[in-house]
């Protein structure tokens, strides 16, 4: 039910930006970009059945970590992605993606397990008469000491879960 690419992006962002060595005395933010190259929908996506849609664009991540009064830390990760897509019939699209993650359980040393909430929205908009796609969900998750991402509960889900290619 949870798109594998989203899980990989979430784990990479958390591991790279919250579990690595750092000295943190106040709020800090990091930004980075990741290209999206030839991403495709799962064959199980009902909204683009019979079409091979390929996406190209760019992720923009902002990771903000702040120290709480009790010595714990809060990490928030905001990612946005935009780009264009084409299908095997020549159809043209634009897409946007917004993801927000909030770590709910960091210790000063970021000792796992890390608990958090993950909100995800993906939209593919046709520039013609081809189908539009919308997927939205919010889940609670855990990342254990080995970096394994485990969804705990799904709080909101709209659209076909197989139709979130990012």
pTM of the model: 0.75
Mean predicted confidence (pLDDT) in 132-139? 94
Instruction: Please state, in angstroms and rounded to a whole number, the distance separating the CA atoms of residues 45 and 161.
Output: 8
Q: What is the pLDDT of residues 47-105, one digit of tens each?
A: 988 899 999 999 999 998 888 788 777 888 999 999 999 999 999 999 999 999 988 77
- What is the residue extent of each domain of the chain? 4-163
Give DSSP secondary structure letters for 29-71: EEEEEEEEEEEE--TT-GGGTT--EEEEEEEEEEEEEEE-TTS
Residue 12: its pLDDT value, please?
Answer: 45
Is residue 1 predicted with pLDDT exceeding 60? no
85 Cβ partners below 8 Å, 6+ apart? 53, 54, 55, 56, 92, 93, 94, 95, 124
For the segment 4-56, what is each residue's pLDDT rounded down to a tens digit? 444 444 444 444 444 443 333 345 688 999 999 999 999 899 898 889 999 99
Asked if 90 and 128 touch (Cβ cutoff 8 Å), the reply is no
Asked whether the predicted pLDDT for residue 2 surpasses 80, the reply is no
Phi, psi of 5, rounded to the nearest 5 degrees: -65, -35
């Amino acid at each position: 039910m949870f798109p594998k690419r989203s899980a990989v992006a979430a784990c990479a962002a958390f591991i790279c930006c919250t579990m690595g060595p750092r000295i943190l005395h106040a709020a800090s933010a990091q930004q980075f970009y990741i290209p999206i190259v030839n991403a495709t929908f799962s064959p199980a996506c009902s909204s683009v059945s019979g079409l091979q849609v390929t996406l190209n664009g760019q992720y923009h991540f902002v990771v903000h970590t702040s120290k709480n009064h009790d010595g714990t830390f809060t990490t928030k990760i905001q990612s946005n992605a935009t780009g264009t897509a084409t299908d095997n019939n020549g159809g043209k699209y634009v897409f946007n993606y917004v993801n927000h993650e909030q770590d709910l359980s960091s210790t000063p040393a970021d000792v796992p397990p890390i608990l958090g909430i993950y909100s995800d929205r993906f939209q593919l908009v046709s520039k013609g008469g081809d189908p539009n796609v919308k997927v939205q969900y919010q889940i609670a998750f855990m990342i254990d000491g080995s970096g394994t991402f485990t969804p705990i509960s799904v709080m909101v889900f709209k659209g076909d879960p197989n139709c979130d290619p990012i």
